[in-house]
Amino acid sequence: MSEIQQFHFTNGLIFTGDEWHTQVAITVEEGRITEIDPHPPGATGRVPPVGWMDLQGGYLVPAFIDVQLYGGNGQLFGVRPSVEAIQATVDYSRKGGAHLILPTVATNDNSIALAAIDAVKKYWQIGGSGVYGVHLEGPFLNPLKRGAHVLEKIQQPSMEALKALVEPGRGIIKMMTIAPELFQPDQIDYLLEAGIILSAGHSNASFEEANTGFDRGISTCTHLFNAMSPLQHRAPGLVGAIFSHPSVASSIVPDGYHVDPAVIKMAKHQMGERLFIITDAVTENQTGNYLHQLRGDHYTLPDGTLSGSALTMLSAVQFCVKKAEISLVEALRMASLYPARVLGIDKEWGKLAVGYRPEWFWIPSF
Q: Which residues are catalytic?
A: 280
* Cβ(35)–Cβ(27) below 8 Å: yes
Residue in 99, 179, 100, 172 with CA at minimum distance from that of residue 137 = 179
Selection from 168, 166, 177, 76 nearest residue 121 by Cα: 168
Confirm if 48 and 42 have CB atoms less than 8 A apart: no
DSSP 272: G
Distance CA 104, CA 282 (A): 10
- Tell me the CA distances in angstroms from 29 to 2, 6, 87, 338, one per residue in order: 7, 9, 27, 25
- 296 with 326: CB under 8 angstroms? no
- Tell me how far apart the alpha carbons of residues 239 and 204 are, in angstroms, rounded to a whole number: 10
d(CA 141, CA 316): 26
Name the nearest CA neighbour of 191 among 212, 203, 177, 205: 177
Report the C-alpha gap between 37 and 227 in whole angstroms.
Answer: 46
Interior CA angle at 203 toward 198 and 207, to 5°?
90
